[in-house]
């Protein structure tokens, strides 16, 4: 991870993306000010090539930024925007000055194109939608919108004319796989934040005359949270590293391209599956440790735990990705150790 | 959070990865006649001839310096070897403890004479070790041990009793944690480690049959056992600190994530067949692998810390707790898959026998090397809660 860029983003987010800002945007305030601060500081173009005016950073280098987007509950699709801007500028498509979300499109019987539960869709100005292997950049304002269970998500439905007129990527992007990658990192960042909050609360809150963190039952809950958080974070970080030879061909997925070339689908599957399982476990344990106060709207814990549930359910929950990994294991030429090796080996260098 | 630094992804160096093909060819040749049920015993499997064959290849004590007969390689080389041994289900029990922790302990704390005596024999697979920690009244509360060694003119006189000592009946030496001064109430103060020659008069070893019917752990009695002055390893009174450092080797290795791998592979082989395939089994296979993968990366991250000369005790405890929990879930989940089939008669008998063995042995996964409850307490201490 490139700590210089993530340190800079951490400073900006601490200053400009506090819980009050997150609450206001979730309640319907426009994200314009936050977007401008992030965009003007250059973070949205971190993965855009240097020739195109960006920083030319790899997924490995920006992984820390994606984790920060989770840790700070950034209420706009920053991670997706970083990838989208790199791909659009690489293919000489005009890049809109708005956050860009990722969508998975389906044709409806009425002939419209519908993308359900677009993560961060409500604060995005455009959506990179992939349908039947074709990726196009659509505006959010010419689609019919429906609210989703999670406040910042949006379902959008575009007429065929909007789809046909939209700029098309010459090389399509598997938006579900790319989103699974960035959500894994965001979940990892949120898991760590939830875990640290719970640890601090256990040291602060007193019952029976001592901090509750002195009780063995609470200590063991926190130990389990640490285990889940560290394991999930490892899976997410490994997914961002260049994979060894052979890793990319282990699943049927065409894989990722452009700024995400070299990322192995099997590693993304593992990352999203493991972080999604941990999201549920850690959210449950954090609320158990916090008691009633953690259940209030006023207390900030819920900002993160609602996201853990939402992100677990976006771009495939654990079972969806277990199916993918399972299919890789059914190949008769491999042993389970060899599948584990291509899923975890770090290329020396 | 001061004691828990976290886990940095680490690469196994190419020269250590290069060991794999040779090891695989060796294992394919030596294990061809063994059933999956036998291979599932792996680091409980006792086969001294196999250990000597590994020694002849230079694969025992591979991290020990060449001048003592070792391979002079990094902990990564051992990681690759051990990972291959465990996943194949090689019977590595006889030399396991000597190779994993007694050798490194003697190298770190031993005198030059102790190193020259013990290390070459360990590397040849001629000298097997066991670890004397638990006693009838001291399990998780290890600091309360009562076995005592007193100095006399000839060295040390040992009295007391150890229990749950794995492979004591097959071992030549025990590295025992004993009290050399003070009383049990002095806790960590006054403890030392002794290398006990188990052939000495006064040593009685009684194997204990476990619930699978195997005899791998033992009760060991010491009645006025006379040991020479060279039995003391490290500094007198430093036994607790030495044992703690030793446990970082014991807790982080691949054996804490791969104990159910032979069963997993045997089950995978069946669900690849037309009779065994099912969508539920495919999903379950993926779920298990999604847990194994980050654990492997964390275990390699701990190996990197060991290679850098550190002693990541808390991280090792975390990997062991998470790893052994998964090792125990694997037989439970596979049992549910197999027993929910419409036609259970299709399930191969060897797969069922392997499942039965791993199911029965699995409680030990989270007992040996420190219980789950002790490990979680260590993690809590690492988090600053104690």
Q: How far apart are CA A66 and CA A61, in angstroms?
A: 10
Q: How far apart are CA A287 and CA A301, in angstroms?
A: 8
The partner residues of A156 in beta bridges, in order of sequence, read A115, A145
Q: How far apart are CA B176 and CA B169, in angstroms?
A: 15
User: The dihedral of CA A217, A223, A227, A228: what is its sign?
Assistant: positive
Range B242-382: architecture per CATH:
Up-down Bundle (1.20)
Q: How far apart are CA A65 and CA A188, in angstroms?
A: 11
The partner residues of A237 in beta bridges, in order of sequence, read none
In chain A, what is the greatest distance between 2 CA atoms, to the nearest angstrom?
Answer: 68
Q: Judge whether B226 and B157 are in contact, CB under 8 Å.
A: yes
Question: How many CB atoms within 10 Å of residue B181?
Answer: 15
Nearest to B6 among A230, A232, A322 (CB): A230
Topology of domain B14-127, CATH: Butyryl-Coa Dehydrogenase, subunit A; domain 1 (1.10.540)
Asked if A252 reaches chain B (Cβ–Cβ under 8 Å), the answer is no
A100-107 and A126-131: which strand pairing?
A: parallel
pTM given for the model: 0.96
In chain A, what residues touch B10 (CB-CB under 8 Å)?
A: 346
The CATH number that domain B131-238 falls under is 2.40.110.10
In chain A, what residues touch B385 (CB-CB under 8 Å)?
A: 199, 202-203, 213-214, 218-219, 222
* A interface test, pick of B85, B276, B289, B304 with most A CB neighbours within 10 Å: B289
DSSP state of B6: -
Residue A254 pLDDT:
60
| B250 part of the active site | yes
For B292-302, what is each residue's pLDDT tens digit?
999 999 999 99
Q: Do B292 and A340 touch (CB under 8 A)?
A: yes
Residue A253 pLDDT:
58
B20: nearest CA in chain A?
A338
Going from the C-alpha of B307 to that of each of A37, A335, B11, B301, the distances in angstroms are 44, 28, 12, 10
Question: How many CB atoms within 10 Å of residue A167?
Answer: 14
User: The dihedral of CA A167, A172, A175, A179: what is its sign?
Assistant: negative
Across chain B, mean pLDDT equals 95
Chain A with chain B: Cβ pairs closer than 8 A: 168
Residue B44 pLDDT:
85
For A239-281, what is each residue's pLDDT tens digit?
999 887 766 555 555 668 778 888 999 999 999 999 999 999 9
- CATH 1.10.540.10 residue ranges for chain B: 14-127
Nearest to A347 among B11, B282, B296 (CB): B11
**Of A257-271, B167-181, B333-347, which gets the smallest average pLDDT?**
A257-271
Q: Judge whether A185 and A67 are in contact, CB under 8 Å.
A: yes
Q: Is A28 helix (H, G, I), strand (E, B) or coil?
A: coil
Residue A248 pLDDT:
57
The partner residues of B148 in beta bridges, in order of sequence, read B159, B179
Q: How many residues does chain A have?
A: 349
* Residue A92, Cβ density class (10 Å: 0-12 exposed, 13-18 middle, ≥19 buried): exposed
E strand map for chain B: 129-132, 148-152, 155-166, 173-179, 191-197, 203-208, 217-227, 232-233
Q: Do B291 and A274 touch (CB under 8 A)?
A: yes
Residue A182 pLDDT:
98
For B266-280, what is each residue's pLDDT tens digit?
999 999 999 999 999
Residue A1 pLDDT:
62
Q: How far apart are CA B19 and CA B91, in angstroms?
A: 19
In chain B, what is the greatest distance between 2 CA atoms, to the nearest angstrom?
Answer: 73
Region for residue A28 given its phi and psi (left: phi exceeds 0; alpha: psi -120 to 50; beta: otherwise): left
- CATH 1.20.140.10 residue ranges for chain B: 242-382
Q: How close A339 gets to chain B, by Cα (Å)?
A: 8
Buried b (16+ CB within 10 A) or exposed e, B353-376: bbbbbbbebbebbbebbbebebbb
Contacts of B51 (CB under 8 A, 6+ apart): B60, B92, B94, B95, B125, B128
Region for residue A136 given its phi and psi (left: phi exceeds 0; alpha: psi -120 to 50; beta: otherwise): beta
Helices (H) then strands (E): counts for chain A: 12, 8
Contacts of A58 (CB under 8 A, 6+ apart): A47, A240, A242, A259
**Of A340-349, B168-177, B342-351, which gets the smallest average pLDDT?**
A340-349
Q: What whole-number percentage of chain B has pLDDT above 90?
A: 89
Q: Judge whether B321 and B315 are in contact, CB under 8 Å.
A: no
* Residue B345, Cβ density class (10 Å: 0-12 exposed, 13-18 middle, ≥19 buried): exposed
Query: Which regions in chain A score pLDDT beneath 50?
Result: none
How does residue B313 score in pLDDT terms, banded at 50, 70 and 90? confident
Q: How far apart are CA B254 and CA B99, in angstroms?
A: 14
Distance of CA B146 to the CA centre of its chain: 24
Q: How close B326 gets to chain A, by Cα (Å)?
A: 12
Residue B1 pLDDT:
46
Is the per-residue pLDDT at B243 higher than 70? yes
For B39-75, what is each residue's pLDDT tens digit?
999 888 899 999 999 999 999 999 999 999 999 999 9
Q: Judge whether A105 and A79 are in contact, CB under 8 Å.
A: no
Q: Do B373 and A237 touch (CB under 8 A)?
A: no
* Helix A265-290 × helix A175-204 angle, to 10°: 30
Q: How far apart are CA B268 and CA B277, in angstroms?
A: 9
Q: How close A237 gets to chain B, by Cα (Å)?
A: 8
CB hemisphere CA count around B129 (13 angstroms):
26
For residue A347, what are its two tokens? 């290329």
Distance of CA A29 to the CA centre of its chain: 22
Q: Judge whether A220 and A288 are in contact, CB under 8 Å.
A: no
**What's phi and psi for B2, nearest 5 deg?**
-65, -35
Which position among B83, B219, B250, B315 bears the catalytic label?
B250
Q: Do B385 and A219 touch (CB under 8 A)?
A: yes
Residue in B20, B135, B1, B113 with CA at minimum distance from that of residue B68: B113
Residue in B86, B68, B73 with CA at minimum distance from that of residue B23: B86
Question: How many CB atoms within 10 Å of residue B250?
Answer: 19
* Residue B143, Cβ density class (10 Å: 0-12 exposed, 13-18 middle, ≥19 buried): middle
**What's phi and psi for B189, nearest 5 deg?**
-85, 135
B284-291 mean pLDDT? 98
Q: How far apart are CA A195 and CA A308, in angstroms?
A: 12
Q: Do B294 and A339 touch (CB under 8 A)?
A: no
Q: How close B240 gets to chain A, by Cα (Å)?
A: 24
User: The dihedral of CA B274, B276, B279, B283: what is its sign?
Assistant: negative
Residue in A3, A37, A46 with CA at minimum distance from that of residue A17: A37
DSSP string, B44-99: G---HHHHHHHHHHT-SSTTS-GGGTS----HHHHHHHHHHHHHHT---HHHHHII
What does the domain layout of chain A look like in residue ranges?
3-165, 175-344
Q: How far apart are CA A156 and CA A117, in angstroms?
A: 8
Q: Judge whether A328 and A250 are in contact, CB under 8 Å.
A: yes
* B interface test, pick of A213, A329, A331 with most B CB neighbours within 10 Å: A329
Asked if A339 reaches chain B (Cβ–Cβ under 8 Å), the answer is yes
Topology of domain A175-344, CATH: Butyryl-CoA Dehydrogenase, subunit A; domain 3 (1.20.140)
In chain B, what residues touch A349 (CB-CB under 8 Å)?
A: 11
Going from the C-alpha of B191 to that of each of B183, B234, B342, the distances in angstroms are 10, 11, 58
B26-30 mean pLDDT? 96
């Amino acid at each position: 991870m490139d700590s210089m860029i993530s340190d800079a983003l951490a400073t900006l987010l601490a200053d400009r993306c506090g819980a009050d800002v997150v609450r206001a945007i979730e309640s319907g305030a426009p994200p314009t000010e936050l977007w401008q601060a992030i965009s003007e500081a250059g973070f949205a173009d971190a993965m855009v090539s240097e020739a195109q005016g960006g920083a030319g950073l790899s997924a490995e280098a920006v992984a820390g930024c994606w984790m920060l987007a989770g840790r700070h509950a950034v209420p706009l699709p920053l991670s997706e925007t970083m990838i989208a801007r790199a791909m659009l500028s690489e293919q000489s498509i005009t890049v809109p000055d708005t956050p860009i979300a990722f969508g998975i499109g389906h044709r409806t019987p009425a002939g419209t194109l519908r993308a359900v539960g677009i993560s961060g869709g409500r604060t995005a100005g455009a959506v990179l939608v992939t349908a039947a292997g074709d990726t196009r950049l659509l505006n959010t304002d010419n689609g019919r919108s429906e609210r989703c269970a999670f406040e910042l998500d949006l379902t959008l439905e575009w007429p065929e004319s909007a789809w046909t007129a939209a700029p098309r990527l010459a090389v399509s992007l598997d938006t579900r796989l790319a989103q699974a990658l960035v959500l894994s990192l965001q979940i990892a960042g949120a898991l760590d934040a939830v875990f640290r909050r719970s640890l601090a609360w256990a040291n602060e809150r007193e019952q029976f005359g001592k901090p509750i963190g002195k009780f063995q039952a609470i200590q063991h809950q926190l130990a389990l949270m640490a285990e889940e958080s560290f394991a999930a974070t490892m899976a997410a970080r490994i997914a961002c590293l260049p994979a060894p030879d052979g890793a990319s061909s282990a699943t049927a997925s065409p894989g990722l391209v452009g700024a995400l070339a070299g990322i192995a689908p099997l590693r993304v599957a593992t990352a999203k599956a493991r972080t999604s399982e941990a999201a549920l476990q850690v959210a449950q344990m954090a609320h158990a440790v916090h008691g009633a106060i953690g259940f209030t709207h006023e207390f900030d814990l819920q900002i993160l735990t609602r996201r853990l549930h939402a992100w677990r359910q976006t771009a495939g929950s654990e079972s969806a990705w277990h199916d993918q990994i399972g299919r890789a294991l059914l190949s008769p030429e491999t042993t389970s150790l060899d599948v584990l090796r291509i899923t975890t080996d770090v290329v020396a260098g | 959070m001061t004691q828990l630094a976290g886990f940095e992804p680490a690469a196994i160096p190419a020269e250590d990865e290069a060991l794999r093909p040779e090891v695989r060819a060796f294992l394919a040749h030596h294990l061809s006649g063994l059933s999956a049920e036998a291979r599932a015993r792996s680091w409980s499997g006792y086969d001294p001839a196999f250990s000597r064959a590994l020694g002849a290849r230079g694969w025992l004590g591979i991290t020990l310096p060449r001048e003592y007969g070792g391979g002079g390689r990094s902990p990564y080389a051992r990681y690759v070897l051990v990972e291959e041994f465990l996943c194949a289900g090689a019977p590595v029990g006889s030399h396991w403890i000597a190779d994993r922790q007694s050798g490194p302990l003697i190298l770190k704390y031993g005198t030059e004479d102790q190193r020259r005596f013990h290390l070459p024999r360990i590397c040849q697979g001629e000298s097997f070790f066991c670890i004397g920690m638990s006693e009838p009244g001291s399990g998780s509360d290890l600091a309360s041990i009562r076995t005592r060694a007193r100095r006399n003119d000839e060295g040390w006189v040992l009295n007391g009793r150890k229990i749950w000592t794995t492979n004591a009946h097959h071992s030549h030496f025990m590295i025992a944690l004993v009290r050399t001064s003070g009383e049990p109430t002095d806790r960590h103060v006054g403890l030392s480690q002794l290398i006990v020659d188990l052939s000495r008069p006064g040593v009685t070893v009684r194997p204990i049959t476990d619930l699978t019917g195997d005899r791998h752990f033992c009760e060991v009695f010491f009645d006025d056992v006379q040991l020479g002055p060279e039995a003391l390893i490290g500094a007198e009174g430093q036994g607790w600190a030495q044992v703690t450092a030793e446990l970082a080797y014991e807790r982080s290795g691949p054996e804490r994530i791969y104990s159910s791998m032979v069963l997993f592979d045997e089950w995978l082989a069946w669900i690849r067949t037309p009779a065994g395939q099912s969508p539920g089994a495919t999903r379950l296979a993926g779920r298990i692998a999604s847990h194994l993968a980050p654990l492997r990366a964390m275990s390699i991250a701990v190996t990197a810390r060991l290679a850098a000369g550190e002693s990541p005790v808390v991280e090792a405890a975390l990997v062991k707790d998470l790893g052994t929990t998964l090792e125990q879930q694997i037989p439970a989940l596979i049992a549910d898959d197999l027993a929910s089939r419409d036609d259970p008669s299709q399930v191969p008998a060897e797969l069922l026998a392997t499942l039965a063995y791993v199911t029965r042995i699995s409680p030990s996964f989270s007992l040996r090397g420190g219980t789950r409850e002790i490990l979680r307490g260590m993690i809590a201490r690492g988090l600053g809660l104690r």
